[in-house]
Chains A and B, each alone.
Chain A
Amino acid sequence: MDMLASLLPAGIAVHAPALIVVIPLIMAAVAALMPRGIFAWGVTLATAIAVAVLSLNILGQVSTGGVISYAMGGWLPPVGIELRVDMLNVPLLLLVGIVGLLCVIYALPSVADEIAKKQQSLFYSAFLVCFAGLLGVTITGDAFNVFVFLEISSISTYTIIAMGAGKDRRALTASYNYLVLGTIGATFFVIGVGFLYMATGTLNIADMAAVLEQNGHDRVTQAAFAFIVVGLGLKAAMFPLHVWLPNAYAFAPNFVTAFLASTATKVAFYALIRFVFSVFHPEVNFVAMSFTWLFAVVGVIAMMVASVQAVFQTDARRLLAYSSVAQVGYMMLGLGMGTAAGLSASMLHLMNHALMKGALFMALGAFALNFGVRRVKDLAGLGQTMPASSAAFTVASLSLVGVPLTVGFTSKWYLVTAALERGWWWAVAALMISSLLALAYVARLLSAIWMETPPAGKAGLAPARRLAPWMVLAPMSLLAFANIYFFFHADPLVGLARAAANAVMGGN
């Protein structure tokens, strides 16, 4: 940790919280000026490396020196905008930074295949804006600023999803649907923040919590709570507010799907945790009620319904998208337990799910890149024609089911332990059933890949083996490997998740 903290010279390290948002934002403008896609990609890669280094440095600083508070423009909080990093948002910064970097490496071949040459620099520019927005939501300590960054990331997300239209025109309607729903979500969220401002007279998250603790919770804060939960729930694809997600993931460019699936909903989920635990106190009556009767129930329903829906999908990416909704259900269940163990299991699953879905969507992207496959039945025989990518896909999908020796098992183990601690046997049963359903849809994918014969090539020739480009293979294999590695070395991720839960629950 000391090594990470001294990764950067002190002069830069002091400003790391600002730079991690500012660099992608500036580079987005630079990328838009680039005449060719490859240069814009270079700018994006440099930015992603810088962000990954900064996020590691911030992790080092927070672990050694405690909470970082950075006053934007020298205006001290609670009046000015504060950037605030504690153990809860550090894992998210790391996740967005490092998975973002891997996705950007993966992007070059994938984007070259899917986006028109003329639009590539603008595509990278929009991606960087989205990247900056997600980092901004994660790092800011100001409730209204959360809204601003949420909108920055969402609006650019609509754009980059719509750019899948080059391959499939349905990307336009998918993006438009997301735009309408996402805007409704943002509106709900900002109404909630408005109510909170009315009740507390401040926008700083820490200050809000202090004022609420002093004044108690009245009707206005209850309304604020409801609006914020619905607004952020929509962004985090909380069941039944997830309807925008399957199509958006299915028709976006592959790189975008891989990036969004492993970061965007996670960041919205983080914001939800931040508001529920840090602003509203978890021991207040209506918040405690919402845990059991809203988050846990909604989580369990999502685990069941979305998993069943996933079993019957024909499009491979839609299948995984429904599975993502189910996995958000797991996280909601962990949150709904309302205990430190539940929350840390939920945070652990959040990180692990990013590892799984990142690898899975990258592998589907590799299949699409080489053979243009999208439907489940077109995956037939890819185990023979693309063995390396198929192996990575297999590891990640086993992790999705929660097979031992993969991180999926670790996070489900912690969820089950937390549920038992709370005495929620029904939640354990739900976890088991949902895992079996996951096995059902994963089996469909894997049996198509490994058991079926590949379609014969032209003139009856044996189907050719095709290796994905190394820029696709390397990040994908790394994520797949991480799925196994973090089972055997669970301490770093479990430690981060525990520290995150303790940071908001006030335990030790």
Chain B
Amino acid sequence: MSPHLILRVVSKLLIPMIVVFGFYVQFHGDFGPGGGFQAGVIIAVAVILYALIFGMDEARRAVPPIVVRYGAALGVLIYASVGVATLFMNGAGEPLNFLDYDALHPDQGHHTGQHYGILLVELGVLTTVASVMLAIFYAFAGRVPDIPDEEW
């Protein structure tokens, strides 16, 4: 019988919901308050909660630090490659500037292109923010010795 049974059961229920809520915030970002930054933090929080309840080793097994490092770089690459893509796609004949999302959907007018552009860019933000939050957490949490159970 493991200690902190209630904490474990409740957090097991909560963690998936936190992640879903994170994605809700992410995809809501282009209509209202929300977006990649907040969503990234929320998704990172799910992992941090997992680490708090089940321990750092378990969390590191679930989301290894190397994934975190690659994720941080990948997010930047997603963001920047949207910009580079707009340079090459040249919507409707005339050359477009860096990060001009119109290029992403030239046939359906201004709004659709901007819509896709912001979603893709926010996806990059989500990846980087979530990864960096976890990297910071791992860096700090990895330093302190684990608190023995008797001291809770």
Contact = CB atoms under 8 A, between A and B. Distances in A.
B83 interface: yes
Given A29-B73, A29-B74, A33-B70, A15 B98 contact: yes
Interface string A85-128: 00000000000000000000000000000000000000001000
Contacts of B100: 73-74
A271 interface: no
Interface of A is mostly: helix
B69 A18 contact: no
B97 A71 contact: yes
B97 to A, nearest CB: 5
B64 interface: no
A26 interface: yes
B101 interface: yes
Interface size range on B against A: 20 to 34
Interface in A1-44: 11, 14-15, 18-19, 22, 25-26, 28-30, 32-33
Contact of B77 (A14, A29, A70, A72): A29
A32 B96 contact: no
B87 A32 contact: no
A25 B78 CA distance: 12
B80 interface: yes
B87 to A, nearest CB: 6
Contacts of B55: none
Interface residues of A, number: 19
A279 to B, nearest CB: 25
B95 interface: yes
A73 B97 contact: yes
Interface in B40-83: 69-70, 72-74, 76-77, 80-81, 83
A72 B98 CA distance: 6
Contacts of A33: 70, 73
B84 interface: yes
Given A29-B73, A32-B69, A32-B72, A74 B80 contact: no
B99 A72 contact: yes
B122 interface: no
Contact of A18 (B74, B97, B102): B97
B98 A25 contact: no
Interface string A457-493: 0000000000000000000000000000000000000
Given A32-B69, A32-B73, A74-B102, A26 B84 contact: yes
Contacts of A74: 96-97, 99-100, 102
B98 A26 contact: no
Contact of A25 (B72, B74, B80): B80
B80 A18 contact: no
Interface in B98-151: 98-102
Contacts of B69: 32
Nearest to A10: B95
Most chain B beta carbons < 10 A, residue from A28, A29, A70, A71: A29
Most chain A beta carbons < 10 A, residue from B74, B81, B87: B87
A119 to B, nearest CB: 12
Most chain A beta carbons < 10 A, residue from B95, B98, B99: B98
Contact of B101 (A19, A26, A73): A73
Contacts of A125: 73
B42 to A, nearest CB: 23
B73 A30 contact: yes
Interface string B14-52: 000000000000000000000000000000000000000
Contacts of B76: 25-26, 28-29
Contacts of B81: 26
A71 B84 CA distance: 15
A25 to B, nearest CB: 6
B98 A22 contact: yes
A114 to B, nearest CB: 22
Contact of B80 (A15, A26, A32, A70): A26
Contacts of A19: 98
Given A15-B87, A22-B83, A22-B84, A30 B98 contact: no
B77 A26 contact: yes
A126 to B, nearest CB: 12
Interface in A33-83: 33, 70-74
Contacts of B87: 15, 18
Contact of A14 (B70, B74, B95, B101): B95
B143 to A, nearest CB: 15
Nearest to A28: B76
A30 B83 CA distance: 16
A15 B76 CA distance: 20
A30 to B, nearest CB: 7
Contacts of A72: 97-99
A125 B72 CA distance: 12
A70 B98 CA distance: 9
B36 to A, nearest CB: 16
A70 B97 contact: yes
Contacts of B99: 72-74
Contacts of A30: 73, 77
B70 to A, nearest CB: 6
A5 B66 CA distance: 43
Given A26-B80, A29-B77, A73 B98 contact: yes
Nearest to B69: A32
9 contacts: A11-B95, A15-B98, A18-B97, A22-B80, A29-B73, A29-B80, A30-B77, A70-B98, A74-B99
Given A32-B72, A70-B98, A74-B102, 17 more contacts: A11-B95, A19-B98, A22-B80, A22-B83, A25-B76, A25-B80, A26-B81, A26-B84, A29-B76, A29-B77, A32-B69, A72-B97, A73-B97, A73-B99, A73-B100, A74-B100, A125-B73
Interface of A: 11, 14-15, 18-19, 22, 25-26, 28-30, 32-33, 70-74, 125
The 4 closest A-B pairs by CB, nearest first: A74-B100, A18-B98, A29-B76, A73-B99
